């Protein structure tokens, strides 16, 4: 079987097609899905192939998520399209008080087999209410799994795993990556949740990242190599469950760690990783665990300001200097 | 309702200002000079003009992502508005808002919103304060038919009705919520019928007839100023452009746009004003030219305005 170049959008559509063909309990609900196959083309072809299973709902994230939860409680496997991750705010009760807690509260009677799919991130000059990375809110909510893929092959494999998973999964995909392409095998496969991936081997520092920042970190690693610093770049892929074993193995080798994410710095997921590395791997560290994230402001509209707010390769490079205490 | 010649001219001028401004942004955006997303309201001009002509400076409005027309009709200064669309420091929000989050509080433009429906929730709070302070001012909130699917619409309308708050809910039915036709997500023909369920008046009108919009909103404003609570006005209209600039509009049936262009509120009004002898072709031409000049000046102002200084970044997060 061959390997094709697919965009993240097409990889996603293919994952859904394969899953929907073999499991009739899967349906998709959200806003504006059928006319053009989702705002990023992520459902292309599906409305034609599964006309009753991809549903245009009124603009009510509250009830769209509620519908997903209620249907999941009967054994269905809905994928709920949030349109933009920023709109989770209008369904926070459903996500935080219902979706995350029902299984536990019911003493394990219920399975919450749904995927809440949410395109996130900035760099499209869409300003403060359409540009956020909100993953840390949900990692901070026990009961939710959180997936943050970077490349098309992972979008496909992880989405399939998320759909098959018996727990609620929040699946973030960066808006900027939808038309980015990458190799995807024609073979059917599932990528397990909770496994990070070493994107580049190195011995001098471990750079932990996910989603769009994986690209920036890889670019930074190439720059570092020119200066003789070999960075190991790890794409975490899922934040909950977190592959801390992989992190630990790498940090024990490099003795330096850094976390890079697009979400704003304070209270971001980087803080959690840095704290855990500090607690559990203290003896292996030869320098501070450095975090790089967006500046702590709402994302401004002005492209000049937005660029300044979001982490750039230069920020990663100066972060490495701080980590290596150079 | 008798509408004076002066008022007729005023309604016409408002619409021309809104339209000329938005047509200019269409060109500039297509030229790649304007960042981000642009949701325009050409075609829905009469809803904004007819509503805002009833409002005083101290009255408040809340707008949506498609808010330029309403904000201009309410009286915002075009120069800082245009600069905001360019993301520049002299923009009314210092380049932080862009089109979708525009606010110009001194002219009562309390905020556009990127979150569909949210304006309605904030509007009831502003109306609460107006009532509490015994000001006799009112709040008008604009929204599209798509927003009537949100809890925000139902909850806010109910709350405004129970607390008898001076809010005028102005629903602009432009047939599509993004790419989805009204019939897909609304099960009633007229959303104004829903008002009765909350114990408040609701009317459905032709949103392309600016005088009709004016006189219906006048009743609603009086109702609100008299302390009788909210009022829902449903204006049937159409957006000439796509959901956003660049939208190929494949979802529109053939001939639909052409049909609505014939009902362009400005074209209709020009015919009416000519027939009534309020303005002749020359007078209209003069108004259009003066407006174009004002907008050219706004564009020149915006182009000259510097980019925001990154040193300013942390200002205004907190008071
Ligand atoms: C809470 C929320 N959900 C979804 C969106 C995405 N969205 C932006 S505009 C829009 C359609 C709005 O339709 P309508 O209210 O009729 O206003 P119109 O665009 O027609 O003026 C949608 C779904 C959003 N901005 N906010």
pLDDT given for residue B33 in this prediction: 96
pLDDT given for residue B65 in this prediction: 98
| CB neighbourhood size of B212 (10 A) | 17
Average pLDDT, chain B: 97
Range of the domain at B257: 5-305
Which residues of chain A neighbour B146 with C-beta distances below 8 Å? 58-59
CATH number, residue B48: 3.40.50.970
**Distance from the first to the final alpha carbon of chain B:** 46
The answer to whether residue B310 is domain-embedded is: no
**How many helices (H) does chain A have, and how many strands (E)?**
12, 14
* Mean pLDDT (whole number) for A166-172: 98
Q: Does A31 touch chain B (CB under 8 A)?
A: yes
Of B45, B47, B116, the residue with max ligand 1 atoms within 8 A of its CB, to mutate for a pocket test, comes to B116
d(CA B289, CA B292): 5
Ligand 1 centre to CA of A63 (Å) is 15
Above 80 in pLDDT, residue A326? no
The answer to whether residue B97 is domain-embedded is: yes
Quote ipTM for the complex. Answer: 0.95
pLDDT given for residue A61 in this prediction: 98
The tens digit of pLDDT for each residue in B61-87 reads: 999 999 999 999 999 999 999 999 999
d(CA A151, CA A212): 9
d(CA A207, CA B46): 56
Average pLDDT, chain A: 97
The answer to whether residue B228 is domain-embedded is: yes
| Residue of chain B with shortest Cα separation from A84 | B115
Tally of domains in chain B: 1
pLDDT given for residue A74 in this prediction: 97
Write the burial class of residue B253 (CB in 10 Å: 0-12 exposed, 13-18 middle, 19+ buried): exposed
Ramachandran category for residue A90: left, alpha or beta (phi over 0 → left; psi -120 to 50 → alpha): alpha
> Rounded to two decimals, what is the model's pTM?
0.97
Tokens matching residue A322: 């701080």
| CB neighbourhood size of A139 (10 A) | 18
The tens digit of pLDDT for each residue in A286-300 reads: 999 999 999 999 999
Percent of chain B past pLDDT 90, that is, above it, reads 99
Which residues of chain B neighbour A305 with C-beta distances below 8 Å? 87, 95-96, 308, 310, 313
Atom of ligand 1 nearest to the CA of B173: 16
The tens digit of pLDDT for each residue in B163-182 reads: 999 999 999 999 999 999 99
Above 80 in pLDDT, residue B40? yes
The answer to whether residue B73 is domain-embedded is: yes
Residue A46 binned pLDDT confidence (cut-offs 50, 70, 90):
very high
Nearest-neighbour CA in chain A from B100: distance (Å): 8
Strand intervals (E) in B188-288: 202-206, 231-236
pLDDT given for residue A325 in this prediction: 85
- Give the catalytic positions of A in this structure: 130
* Mean pLDDT (whole number) for B147-155: 98
Q: Is A31 in the pocket of ligand 1 (CB under 6 A)?
A: yes
Write the burial class of residue B78 (CB in 10 Å: 0-12 exposed, 13-18 middle, 19+ buried): buried
pLDDT given for residue B1 in this prediction: 85
The answer to whether residue B316 is domain-embedded is: no
Atom of ligand 1 nearest to the CA of B182: 16
CA distances from A243 to A137, A236, A238, A254, B91 (A): 19, 7, 8, 17, 46
Who among B88, B101, B313 is closest to A297 (CB)?
B313
d(CA A247, CA A263): 20
Who among A57, A297, A301 is closest to B87 (CB)?
A301
Structural domains of chain A ordered from first start: 3-185 (3.40.50.970), 197-321 (3.40.50.920)
A·B CB contacts under 8 A: 117
The tens digit of pLDDT for each residue in A58-106 reads: 999 999 999 999 999 999 999 999 999 999 999 999 999 999 999 999 9
* Mean pLDDT (whole number) for B115-130: 98
Identify which of A17, A88, A7, A3 has the alpha carbon closest to the alpha carbon of residue A41.
Answer: A7
């Amino acid at each position: 079987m061959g390997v094709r170049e697919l965009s993240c959008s097409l990889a996603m559509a293919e994952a859904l097609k394969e899953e929907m063909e073999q499991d009739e309990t899967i349906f998709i609900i959200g806003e504006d899905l059928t006319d053009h196959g989702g705002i990023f083309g992520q459902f292309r072809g599906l409305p034609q192939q599964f006309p009753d299973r991809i549903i245009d709902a009124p603009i009510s994230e509250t009830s769209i998520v509620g519908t997903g939860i209620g249907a999941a409680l009967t054994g269905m496997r809905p994928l709920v399209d949030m349109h933009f991750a920023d709109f989770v705010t209008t369904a926070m009760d459903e996500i935080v008080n219902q979706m995350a807690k029902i299984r536990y509260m019911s003493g394990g009677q219920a399975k919450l087999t749904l995927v809440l799919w949410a395109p996130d991130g900035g760099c499209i000059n869409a300003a403060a209410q359409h540009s956020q990375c909100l993953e840390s809110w949900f990692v901070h909510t026990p009961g939710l799994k959180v997936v943050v893929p970077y490349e098309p092959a992972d979008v496909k494999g992880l989405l399939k795993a998320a759909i098959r998973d018996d727990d609620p999964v929040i699946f973030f995909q960066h808006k900027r990556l939808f038309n980015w392409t990458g190799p995807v095998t024609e073979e059917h496969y599932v990528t397990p949740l909770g496994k990070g991936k070493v994107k580049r081997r190195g011995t001098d520092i471990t750079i932990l990242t996910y989603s769009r920042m994986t690209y920036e970190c890889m670019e930074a690693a190439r720059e570092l190599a020119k200066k003789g610093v070999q960075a190991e770049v790890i794409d975490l892929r899922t934040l909950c469950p977190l592959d801390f074993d992989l992190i630990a193995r790498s940090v024990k080798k490099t003795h330096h760690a850094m976390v890079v994410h697009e979400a704003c710095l304070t209270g971001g997921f980087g803080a959690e990783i840095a704290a855990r590395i500090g607690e559990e791997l203290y003896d292996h560290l030869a320098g501070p665990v450095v975090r790089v994230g967006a500046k702590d402001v709402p994302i401004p509209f002005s492209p000049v300001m937005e660029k300044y707010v979001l982490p750039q390769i230069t920020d990663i490079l100066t972060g490495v200097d701080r980590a290596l205490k150079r | 309702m008798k509408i004076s010649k002066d008022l007729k001219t005023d309604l016409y001028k408002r619409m021309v200002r809104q339209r000329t401004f938005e047509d200019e942004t269409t060109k500039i955006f297509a030229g790649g000079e304007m960042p981000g997303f642009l949701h325009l309201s050409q075609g829905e001009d009469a809803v904004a003009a007819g509503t805002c002509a009833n409002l005083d400076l101290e009255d408040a409005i809340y707008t949506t992502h498609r808010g330029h027309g309403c904000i201009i009709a309410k009286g915002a200064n075009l120069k800082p508005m245009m600069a905001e669309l360019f993301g520049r420091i002299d923009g009314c929000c210092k380049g932080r808002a862009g089109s979708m989050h525009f606010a110009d509080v001194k002219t009562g433009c309390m905020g556009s919103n990127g979150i569909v429906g949210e304006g309605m929730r904030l509007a009831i709070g502003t109306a609460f304060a107006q009532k509490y302070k015994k000001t006799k001012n009112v709040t008008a909130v604009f929204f599209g038919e798509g927003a009537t699917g949100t809890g925000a619409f139902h909850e806010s309308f109910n709350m405004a009705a129970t607390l008898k708050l001076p809010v005028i809910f102005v629903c602009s039915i432009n047939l599509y919520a993004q790419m989805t036709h009204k019939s897909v997500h609304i099960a009633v023909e007229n959303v104004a019928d829903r008002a009765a369920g909350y114990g408040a008046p609701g009317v459905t009108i032709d949103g392309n007839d600016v005088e009709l919009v004016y006189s219906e909103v006048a009743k609603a404003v009086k109702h609100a100023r008299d302390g009788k609570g909210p009022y829902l006005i449903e204006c049937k209209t159409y957006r000439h452009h796509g959901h956003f600039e660049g939208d190929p509009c494949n979802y529109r049936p053939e001939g639909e746009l052409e049909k609505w262009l014939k009902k362009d509120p400005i074209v209709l009004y020009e015919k009416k004003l000519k027939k009534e002898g309020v303005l002749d072709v020359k007078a209209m031409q003069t108004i259009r030219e003066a407006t174009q000049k004002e907008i050219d000046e706004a564009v020149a102002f915006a182009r000259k305005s510097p980019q925001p200084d990154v040193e300013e970044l942390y200002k205004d997060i907190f008071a």
